[in-house]
Amino acid sequence: MSATTLRRLIVFSLIILWEGLPRTGLIPELFLPSLSSTLIAGWNEAGEYGHALAVTLYEVAVSMVFACGLGILAGAVVGSLPRPRVLIMPMVSSLYAVPLVILYPVFTVWLGIGSESKIAFASIYGFLPTMLSTAAGIQTIDPQLLLAARSMGATLSQRLVRVIIPAAIPTVLSGLRVGGALVIVGVVVSEMLISSAGIGYLISRYRTILDSPHVFAGVLLVLAMTVAFSAALRWIEQKASIWQTGMRGGLAENRSVRPAALQPTA
């Protein structure tokens, strides 16, 4: 049996169990409502869930841009320049151990209980691992490769585009994987703590009134979100490996395209 078939089989049996166990009464519906009642609950409140999902997705997307964009940028600087590294790395590493969630109430005081405080919290939450792994990725680039590139006449920017970035891609992507997952966690957790909208908010509101099917409908949506994120990342990884290997073809195309692109289109 192939790994894929096995994986599908596991998911399939979990679904069966989710439907079957509560129905047979082995697990009370309060602890685990059956899949069908969860779906029905979600469907009945589709508008509410849709709105919550939109809020959460918006917060995740903005936090992702901050966390990953700034994380990669800061990681690249810290990884390639020794002085900021010595200055910042010990600080970041010890900060990493602090459970940042204790800062969230402070953020709500500063930024209110709307999206801003979630975005701020999740951005910082995802920023650190992205930055750390990007810095590590850039630091571990074989200096021999850079020397070889230099011996072939590569300028600083050519070394960046053709050696440093492709060499760092795998570590940066694994940083994105961790950072992105933490962004989702950060948004949902902060919504559950103090907020007025989003999936996390719905989950915790329905939990206080012990409405399990609606709680699990929210959980299902969060699950779907992480699965989608994972798939998106796999897609990026594929694209990146194409870019990594076919980079020169790609750059050449860009060069030949640019003059045409500059011309006004009728």
Partner 1 sequence: MQPLANITPLKPAGAVEVRNVGQVFTTSTQDVVALDDVSLEVKPGRFVVLVGPSGCGKSTLLMMMAGLRQQTSGAVLINGAPIPKPDPNRVGVVFQEASLFPWLTAEENVEFPLALRGTPKAERRAKAQDALKLVGLDGFGKRHPHELSGGMKQRVSIARGLVQDPPVLLMDEPFAALDEQTRMTMGDELLRIWAATGKTVVFVTHSLTEAVYLADEVVVMSARPGRIVDRLTVSLPRPRTYDMLSGDVFGGLRDRIWRHIRKSA
Residues that bind partner 1 (CB under 8 A): 142, 144-145, 147-154, 158, 162-163, 166-167, 169, 241, 244-245, 248-249, 252, 255
CA distance linking residue 95 with residue 86, whole number of Å? 15
CA distance linking residue 137 with residue 134, whole number of Å? 5
Q: Which is nearer to partner 1, 89 or 169 (CB)?
A: 169
Q: Contact 172/133 with Cβ under 8 angstroms?
A: yes
For residue 260, the minimal CB distance to partner 1 (Å) is: 18
Taking the C-alpha atoms of 74, 130, 60 and 108 in order, what is their torsion angle to the nearest 10 degrees? -70
- In Å, what is the CA distance from 97 to each residue of 8, 168, 245? 36, 25, 37
For residue 169, the minimal CB distance to partner 1 (Å) is: 8
Q: Contact 128/71 with Cβ under 8 angstroms?
A: yes
Q: Which is nearer to partner 1, 161 or 181 (CB)?
A: 161
Q: Which is nearer to partner 1, 112 or 250 (CB)?
A: 250
For residue 236, the minimal CB distance to partner 1 (Å) is: 16
Amino acid letter, 108: T
Q: Contact 212/32 with Cβ under 8 angstroms?
A: yes
For residue 85, the minimal CB distance to partner 1 (Å) is: 18
Q: How many CB atoms lie within 10 A of CB 76?
A: 20
Q: Which is nearer to partner 1, 255 or 258 (CB)?
A: 255
Q: Which is nearer to partner 1, 139 or 226 (CB)?
A: 139
For residue 255, the minimal CB distance to partner 1 (Å) is: 8
Structure tokens at 74: 């800061």
b/e 200-226 (16+ beta carbons within 10 angstroms → b): bbbbbbbeeeeebbbbbbbebbbeebe
Q: Which is nearer to partner 1, 158 or 226 (CB)?
A: 158
For residue 151, the minimal CB distance to partner 1 (Å) is: 4
